[in-house]
Amino acid sequence: MTRGLRAAALAVLLAGCATPYVQGRAALSEGRYDEAAGRFREVLAADPARTDALTGLGIALYKQGALDPAVDALKRAVTAAPQSCEARLYLGLGHLRRAEDRAAEAELTALRALKLHERVAAQLDRALRVLRLAGLADEVRVFVAASLEDELEWEREVREARQAPRAYMQPTWFFFWDARERYPYGWWCP
């Protein structure tokens, strides 16, 4: 998560108006997996159909190494929201870490069918080729899982940066260049 987003999440937390879901996502992004799981369970107690909370719970459990309950939560999330890239990825990774290669391959193949950034898709293609090899060592499974997690995190950071207000990326003088368009795309900015 980018510094700006962490600061915004922290500001919401300090303001005392953060929901348990927002607190869970903040804890998850900062590596506080016990706290994240607790917050997501709190959300699910109030609304068991929240697929975003199921996904968050599954990821928190996966990060803690509790693979069986993680896979259970992520299966429920994928059943409810089959287009969720994050839920599909972590369900596939849960199967991979449990040495369930066929189930992992099926989930990652289903993920590959979704709309993905080309760089994430290329990494997923490489991972699927490795999965099709016989007799993967546990170290290889950990490496493949980490590479896919890293690639998804990279894509999320790029997406969030592109969605951030352009005002933070443009010099102040640029705002006065043309009053008709407050956030113009400058010649130096893609």
Q: Given this model, what pLDDT does residue 183 score? A: 41
Q: Given this model, what pLDDT does residue 18 score? A: 72
Residue 118's H or E segment, with its range, is helix 118-131
16 — pLDDT class (breaks 50, 70, 90): low
Query: How large is the average pLDDT for residues 43-62?
Result: 95
15 — pLDDT class (breaks 50, 70, 90): very low
Task: Classify residue 123 by its DSSP letter.
Answer: H
Q: Given this model, what pLDDT does residue 11 score? A: 52
Contact 28, 56 (CB under 8 A): yes
Residue 129: both structure tokens together: 């080729």
Q: What is the DSSP string of 23-90?
A: HHHHHHHTT-HHHHHHHHHHHHHH-TT-HHHHHHHHHHHHHHT-HHHHHHHHHHHHHH-TT-HHHHHH
CA 167 and chain centroid, separation: 26
Residue 91: both structure tokens together: 């369900």
Contact 131, 144 (CB under 8 A): yes
Distance CA(18)–CA(108), nearest Å, equals 33
